[in-house]
Amino acid sequence: MQITPPYINENSRKRKIRDISNPPLIGESFNDRKSIWKAFGGQWQQRIVMFPGEKTVNVFSDENGPFPDFKDPENGVIEYRGQRIRKEQALVLGNKLLEEARLERRPIRFWHRPVGRSWIFETWALAVDRTQIIEEGPASASSQRILWFLVPIPSLDSSLWPNGLHDLKILELPEIQLENLRQNSDLLKNYSSISAELEMKSIGKKVSTSPISLYRRRKEARDLVIARSRNKCEHDRCTGMPPDVNRQGHAIIQVDHINPLANGGADIPSNMIALCPNCHSAKTYGLHSDQFTKRFQIIVSRIEQLL
């Protein structure tokens, strides 16, 4: 469920400095973090903060930064990197605040700054899960980070939340550990076994009443497909990749479900394909989009046979 908030200009409400009795509204925007700090106090540089006098956690996602967070286009779930981008992360400081909000099922504010735009209080959200990733940083050094899965909710009224969300079990998750993390190079090397593992988990999900680790599985499957693609569009008739690259210097690749989830398609690598934005748009909106499903299934089957 993806939330599109109304756009509220910074000047549409007369604010007093650090007026906690007048909290931010969904859609309210501010020119920069200092403007938010002047209105509500707290800390104006960290990614995860609380405003003085509140127990509500605020998380900030900046598309202008080196690591823009990912939003799943199919369900709106936000994959949010924890606090402390340049070094190893642990469940301390802002990450500890977010972990406490997850365990207590407290809604958080998700603030977002699109490229070239102002900060906006985009949506309320729940932190439902977390995992660990190893990622290359600005200095080309790999470090371990926490990745949080935030599910948007329309309001603080739980009766309006997406179906099943208020009944979702609070996961008992282990402390952050550095061992047993899958490096990107391991994904392709162990493609068959990891793919089979994800397929078994997907089957288990269908008979389970609680989608435990559902969001983590989606990310793992998407990462596996990206590794399989070797940073190239998997459509054998691709007419050309976009000339630009993302902030990590990689080709702009999007992972698509060949048979959409809405039509009963499985959330497993064999039903997923890595596409450049051109081929993805053609498959989604093109005149002959219905012909892509069968062709992509054949393409992925052939690729998997070679791994």
- The pLDDT tens digits for 257-278 are 998 887 888 889 999 999 999 9
Confidence at residue 2, expressed as pLDDT on a 0 to 100 scale: 46
By CB neighbour count within 10 A (0-12 exposed, 13-18 middle, 19+ buried), where does 173 fall? Answer: middle
Tokens in use for 51? 């405003």
By CB neighbour count within 10 A (0-12 exposed, 13-18 middle, 19+ buried), where does 172 fall? Answer: exposed
Q: Do the Cβ atoms of 49 and 58 come closer than 8 Å?
A: yes
In angstroms, the CA 34 to CA 26 distance is 19
pLDDT band at 126 (very low <50, low <70, confident <90, very high): very high
DSSP state of 22: S
Q: Do the Cβ atoms of 27 and 7 come closer than 8 Å?
A: yes
Cα dihedral sign, 181-183-184-185: negative
Burial 204-227 (b: 16+ CB within 10 A, else e): ebeeeeeebbbbbbbbbbbbbbbb
32-36, 92-96, 136-140, 170-174: the lowest-pLDDT one: 136-140
Domains of the chain as residue ranges with CATH: 1-170 (2.30.280.10), 182-307 (no CATH)
Helices (H), the chain: 33-40, 93-103, 184-189, 191-207, 214-229, 277-285, 292-305
8-22, 77-91, 139-153, 293-307: the lowest-pLDDT one: 8-22
Cα dihedral sign, 155-157-160-163: positive
In angstroms, the CA 196 to CA 285 distance is 31
Residue 4, pLDDT above cutoff 80? no
Q: Do the Cβ atoms of 56 and 108 come closer than 8 Å?
A: yes
First-last CA distance in the chain: 35
With a pLDDT cut of 90, the percent of the chain lying above it is 42
Prediction pTM value: 0.82
Q: What is the rounded average pLDDT of the residues 107-111?
A: 97
Q: Do the Cβ atoms of 106 and 170 come closer than 8 Å?
A: no
Q: Do the Cβ atoms of 147 and 81 come closer than 8 Å?
A: yes
pLDDT tens digits, 5-26: 444 444 444 455 555 678 999 9
